Amino acid sequence: GENVEQHPSTLSVQEGDSAVIKCTYSDSASNYFPWYKQELGKRPQLIIDIRSNVGEKKDQRIAVTLNKTAKHFSLHITETQPEDSAVYFCAPHNAGNMLTFGGGTRLMVKP
Amino acid sequence: DTAVSQTPKYLVTQMGNDKSIKCEQNLGHDTMYWYKQDSKKFLKIMFSYNNKELIINETVPNRFSPKSPDKAHLNLHINSLELGDSAVYFCASSLDVNEQFFGPGTRLTVL
């Protein structure tokens, strides 16, 4: 199976600062790269995704960058707010229907 | 309208019992999944199923079995429950290699 690692496992930032979470994967056939956010006691929900033919994608304060050569992609959150506090998961996905989630990053935004 | 629903929300049972968790999606998706999330928040895929094939994560004990009566349902049966099965179980669905839509989760506690 695919090896997926997320770093850091916990991240504490001050409100208004930026946060970056990195995901590395092993399967060069991966072609879909989503990030999910899971708030406490809730289900994971997609916040942004990118496909292998694109290097960067932005949606307001959130962006994802992809480096297929190095096999990693990153989640960038700017102007963090307390409601950004959650656990974030990457889940690189290939054409098959078995995917692997990263170990999660707990982001804490201090007001 | 609820996109992906699961029942029950909470399940408390004794070791050795057999139990089932039901999942339904009304999104018209072709693939459904079961995930286990342990106390450390690791999300592990257990099964992936579409109308063509069932893919089983090889680490899942054969006490766990998915049953799909039709495209909109994927139920999870667990035999001879063990203490280590205590976790939150999420059902999800997707249309091919795309965003996963998760159900609200079922918190299983084995006593």
Q: Phi first, then psi: give them for residue B84, nearest 5 degrees.
A: -70, -5
Quick one: pLDDT at residue B96? Answer: 80
Given a cut of 90, is residue B2 above it in pLDDT?
no
Given a cut of 90, is residue B57 above it in pLDDT?
no
Inter-residue contact A67 to A76 (CB < 8 Å)? no
End-to-end Cα, chain B, rounded Å: 34
Mean pLDDT, residues B69-75 taken together: 92
Quick one: pLDDT at residue B40? Answer: 87
Q: What percent of chain B has pLDDT over 70?
A: 98
Residues of B in contact with A45 (CB under 8 A): 102
In this complex, do A98 and B45 lie within 8 Å of one another by their Cβ atoms?
yes
The pair of three-digit structure tokens given for residue B87, joined into one six-digit string: 């976790």
Given a cut of 90, is residue A21 above it in pLDDT?
yes
Quick one: pLDDT at residue A97? Answer: 65
* Run of H or E residues at B25: strand B19-25
Residue among B31, B35, B42 whose CB faces A97 most closely: B31
Given a cut of 90, is residue B56 above it in pLDDT?
no
Which of A16-20, A29-33, A50-54, B65-69 shows the lowest per-residue confidence on average (mean pLDDT)? A50-54
Q: What is the pLDDT of residues A58-86, one digit of tens each?
A: 999 999 999 999 999 999 999 999 999 99
Residues of B in contact with A9 (CB under 8 A): none
Chain A residue whose CA is closest to B104: A43
Chain A residue whose CA is closest to B39: A41
Mean pLDDT, residues B1-30 taken together: 95
Residue among A43, A97, A106 whose CB faces B48 most closely: A97
Given a cut of 90, is residue B98 above it in pLDDT?
no
Q: Is residue A16 helix, strand or coil?
A: coil
CA B43 to CA A64: how far, in whole Å?
Answer: 21
Residues of A in contact with B97 (CB under 8 A): 31-32, 93-95, 97
DSSP strands (E only) in B29-110: 31-37, 43-50, 54-56, 64-70, 73-78, 87-94, 101-102, 106-110
Given a cut of 70, is residue A1 above it in pLDDT?
no
| B99 at A interface, C-beta within 8 A | yes
In this complex, do B97 and A101 lie within 8 Å of one another by their Cβ atoms?
no
Quick one: pLDDT at residue B28? Answer: 94
In this complex, do A97 and B55 lie within 8 Å of one another by their Cβ atoms?
yes
> Residue B82: CB partners within 8 Å, gap ≥ 6?
B15, B63, B110
Place of tokens 């290097």: A55
Which of A41-45, A94-98, B77-81, B83-87 shows the lowest per-residue confidence on average (mean pLDDT)? A94-98
In this complex, do A98 and B100 lie within 8 Å of one another by their Cβ atoms?
no
CA A23 to CA A102: how far, in whole Å?
Answer: 7
Inter-residue contact A85 to A10 (CB < 8 Å)? no
